[in-house]
Chains A and B, each alone.
Chain A
Amino acid sequence: MITIAGAGLAGLACAYELAQRGAAVTLYERGDTPGGSSVARYAGGMLAPWCERESAEEEVITLGSRAVDWWEKVTTVHRRGTLVVAPSRDRAELTRFARRTSNHRAVAGAAIAELEPALAGRFAQGLLFEQEAHLDPRRALRDLVDKVRALGVEIRCGGPAPARVTLDCTGMAAPLPGLRPVRGEMAILHCPQVEIRRTLRLLHPRMPLYLVPRDEGLFMIGATMIESSSDRPVTLRSLAELLNAAYTLHPGLGEASVVETGAGLRPAFADNLPRLTEQDGTLYLNGLYRHGFLLAPAMAQQAADRLLPETSDEDHRECQTA
């Protein structure tokens, strides 16, 4: 029996990967519902390895480029790409972004209008990352819980995990040296009159913004990156910057209802990359930082390879997940 502490994104992804390979798994969750207290609930849900490479190590691509396929077996994934734009006075930011990333093509104003009619006439230049995708994090967590349960995994909520577990996926609660919190703040807008189909990124030297469309006229906007352990509600300054940036993207969003704001602490190591570490007989998966949905699949596969070495063959994995 494999025991996992923490039924957040990492714990659920590992349980799914392990159960698919035939292991008996029990998940322990302190909160009342699996996924209910996961910081992943505040994520953008972008599967955008090439964009993320702008400020992250190459591993976001090597580990993250197969995430779309993994998630498609679990939940609805929108393969619509990412469109990156910048206000004309910050054109230099776009040049830099293009230089620091790959797998994109430059799109001019007319092409932007074709891709996203709502942005017609607003931006003269942009970058399209066609192979990127997005999902709805809360729906993905719910679907992952269903998949995991269907595979026979037992999820025990509302109490502590046993003193010793096989795998610890408790995020900031894990006693790991070098793990630090990076605060993130976000908001959800309801604005059915503006139609945007794919993830947009607005480059801005002070407040870079991403906007991820959800169903039914909802948009998630985010996110700040603050070296802080405070999980208090979003600050006025952060919210003002986020909303201003959204308004710059499309003035129609000025009429949006702000239906939710949120703040969470992303667990991160010094290189901002996730890590599997062993400590006192327990394996820890942690440090997913701002790349939870992007890197959890690859890390869950690595965790399963470590715990079930006889299943670690790549071909075998393809069979199991096909």
Chain B
Amino acid sequence: MRLYGTDVASRLLLGTAQYPSPAVLAEAVKSSGTGIITVSLRRETAEGSGAGFWDGLRDTGCRILPNTAGCHTVQEAVTTAHMARELFDTDWIKLEVIGHADTLQPDVFGLVEAARILSADGFKVFPYTTEDLVVGERLLEAGCELLMPWGAPIGSGQGLRNPDGLRAMRAHFAGVPLIVDAGIGRPSDATQAMELGMDAVLLNTAVAKAGDPAAMARAMALAVDAGRAGYLADPMERRDMAVPSTPVLGLAELNMTETA
């Protein structure tokens, strides 16, 4: 998978918030096999410094994708992106512009505007968006080279609320990397996303809040691999009726009459 010209081996991206401790987080990152971890940057963090925590993240050897989590306006998101670029020395930014406090639904209007500003400024934007095709087109026009549609509201663990919408996205944006971001609760959700042809999955809470985060991280990695392999293997189509898996034609002839 290539994201903004960079080859990425693992199709699982992992968030770093809400873990019981940095030690547990490091273990989860390792067992997930991920190459990209997201880091939320808050103004309050940046004003002091989260250096102690960030050192631990750098030690994982993963590429860091800072995000603008918790930003509700274009200006906040743009400012946070600039702080992130300086702090982590990367032009990658996961762009979140939150429109609604309870659903954490993206404000897609602000998102497109922020994406345009940041892309023009040299950022490589990973936009957290909905499955809306028109918004997706606008984001690509704004300079994004990939899209990150939600599966369900952030942290809800509901899985894919609109698989048909994601399928339509896959069909419409052939060749554009699509990463399902948010809403994954269980490994089967990640598999389903990958079976739909998504290029990768980004998740956080499902691992961080699991009883055993490292074990769940590994389960998610396996699930992503399984879904991807299944997609590439060109799965059969669903049918309404049964089809015997043993051919009907050419059955052994059980002739009950004496042949001798």
Chain A residues proximal to chain B, CB less than 8 Å: 55-57, 96, 99-100, 179-181, 183, 205, 226-232, 235, 237-238, 268, 270-273
Q: Which of B24, B48, B54, B211 contacts A100 (CB 8 A)?
A: B211
Q: Which of B24, B45, B49, B52 contacts A179 (CB 8 A)?
A: B52
Write out the residue numbers on chain A whose beta carbons fall within 8 Å of the beta carbon of B52.
179-181, 227, 229
Q: Is the CB of A228 within 8 A of B45?
A: yes
Task: Please measure, in the bound complex, the distance between the C-alpha atom of A2 and the C-alpha atom of B9, giving whole angstroms.
Answer: 55
Shortest A174–chain B CB gap in Å is 13
Q: Is the CB of A230 within 8 A of B48?
A: yes
B20 at the interface (CB under 8 A from A): yes
Shortest B66–chain A CB gap in Å is 14
Task: Please measure, in the bound complex, the distance between the C-alpha atom of A183 and the C-alpha atom of B43, giving whole angstroms.
Answer: 13
Contacts A226-B42, A230-B44 known; A270 to B22 CB distance under 8 Å?
yes
Task: Please measure, in the bound complex, the distance between the C-alpha atom of A96 and the C-alpha atom of B208, giving whole angstroms.
Answer: 13
Q: Is the CB of B49 within 8 A of A228?
A: yes
Q: Is the CB of A229 within 8 A of B49?
A: yes
Write out the residue numbers on chain A whose beta carbons fall within 8 Å of the beta carbon of B211.
99-100
Task: Please measure, in the bound complex, the distance between the C-alpha atom of A205 and the C-alpha atom of B101, giving whole angstroms.
Answer: 13
Q: Which of B1-27 contact A (CB under 8 A)?
A: 20-24, 26
Q: Tally chain B residues at the interface, Cβ within 8 Å.
A: 22
Shortest B26–chain A CB gap in Å is 7
Q: Is the CB of B23 within 8 A of A272?
A: yes
Q: Is the CB of A227 within 8 A of B53?
A: yes
B209 at the interface (CB under 8 A from A): yes
Task: Please measure, in the bound complex, the distance between the C-alpha atom of A40 and the C-alpha atom of B62, giving whole angstroms.
Answer: 36
Q: Jot down 18 A-B pairs with beta carbons below 8 A, ordered by A.
A: A96-B209, A100-B211, A181-B52, A183-B44, A183-B48, A226-B42, A226-B44, A227-B54, A228-B45, A228-B47, A228-B48, A229-B49, A230-B44, A230-B49, A237-B44, A270-B23, A270-B56, A271-B22
Q: Is the CB of A271 within 8 A of B21?
A: yes
Task: Please measure, in the bound complex, the distance between the C-alpha atom of A270 and the C-alpha atom of B19, giving whole angstroms.
Answer: 11
Write out the residue numbers on chain B whose beta carbons fall within 8 Å of the beta carbon of A183.
44, 48
Contacts A270-B21, A272-B21, A272-B23 known; A235 to B50 CB distance under 8 Å?
no
Contacts A205-B155, A230-B48 known; A271 to B23 CB distance under 8 Å?
yes
Shortest B181–chain A CB gap in Å is 18
Task: Please measure, in the bound complex, the distance between the C-alpha atom of A57 and the C-alpha atom of B20, giving whole angstroms.
Answer: 8
7 pairs of A and B residues whose beta carbons are closest in the complex:
A180-B52, A230-B48, A227-B53, A271-B23, A272-B21, A229-B48, A228-B48
B51 at the interface (CB under 8 A from A): yes
Shortest B109–chain A CB gap in Å is 24
Most buried by A among B44, B51, B54: B44
Q: Which of B22, B24, B51, B209 contacts A229 (CB 8 A)?
A: B51
